[in-house]
C-alpha cells in the first residue's frame, strides 16, 4: 500500500521556518517537534529566504514575475498573429485587378 503524501498549509510552513530561524531550537529539534524531516524543513527555510512573500504559494501558482512573463508572451503571440494577418491582407489588396 502506498503512503499518502502529507501536505502542509502555508501557515504551518511559515511557523516552522520562524521556529527554526529564531535561534532557540536547531533545525533537527524543530523537525522532530513538528513531525517533518530536517531536509524538508531546510528546503522550506531556503525557499522562504529566496522567494520571500512568494514562498509556499501552492502547486501551479506563478510568482508575480512568472505571471507577468506569461502575460507578455501571450501578448507577443497575439501581436505576431495580427501582423501575419495584416501581411496577408496587404498582399491581397496590393494585387492589381485584371
Vertex 44: Cα angle to 43 and 50 (nearest 5): 85
The more confidently predicted of residues 50 and 53 is 50
pLDDT-based confidence at 87, cuts 50/70/90? very high
pLDDT digits (tens, 9 = 90+) for 21-34: 888 888 899 999 99
What Å distances lie between residue 30 and 15, 43, 46, 91, 94, CA to CA? 10, 14, 15, 70, 74
Position 98 pLDDT exceeds 70? no
The more confidently predicted of residues 64 and 97 is 64
Q: What percent of the chain has pLDDT over 90?
A: 28
What is the rounded average pLDDT for all residues in the chain? 87
Cell numbers of 36, please?
517533518
| 3-class DSSP string for the chain | CCCCCCCCCHHHHHHHHHHHHCCCCCHHHHHHHHCCCHHHHHHHHHHHHHHHHHCCCCCCCCCHHHHHHHHHHHHHHHHHHHHHHHHHHHHHHHCCCC
- CA 65 – CA 61 distance, rounded (Å): 11
Position 70 pLDDT exceeds 90? yes
Q: Does the global pTM surpass 0.85?
A: no
Amino acid at each position: 500500500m502506498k503512503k499518502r503524501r502529507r501536505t502542509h498549509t502555508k501557515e504551518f510552513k511559515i511557523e516552522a521556518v520562524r521556529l527554526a530561524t529564531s535561534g532557540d531550537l536547531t533545525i533537527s529539534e524543530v523537525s522532530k517537534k513538528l513531525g517533518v524531516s530536517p531536509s524538508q524543513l531546510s528546503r522550506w527555510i531556503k525557499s522562504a529566504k529566496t522567494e520571500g512573500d512568494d514562498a509556499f504559494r501552492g502547486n501551479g501558482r506563478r510568482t508575480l514575475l512568472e505571471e507577468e512573463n506569461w502575460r507578455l508572451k501571450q501578448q507577443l503571440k497575439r501581436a505576431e498573429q495580427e501582423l501575419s494577418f495584416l501581411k496577408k491582407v496587404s498582399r491581397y489588396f496590393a494585387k492589381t485587378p485584371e
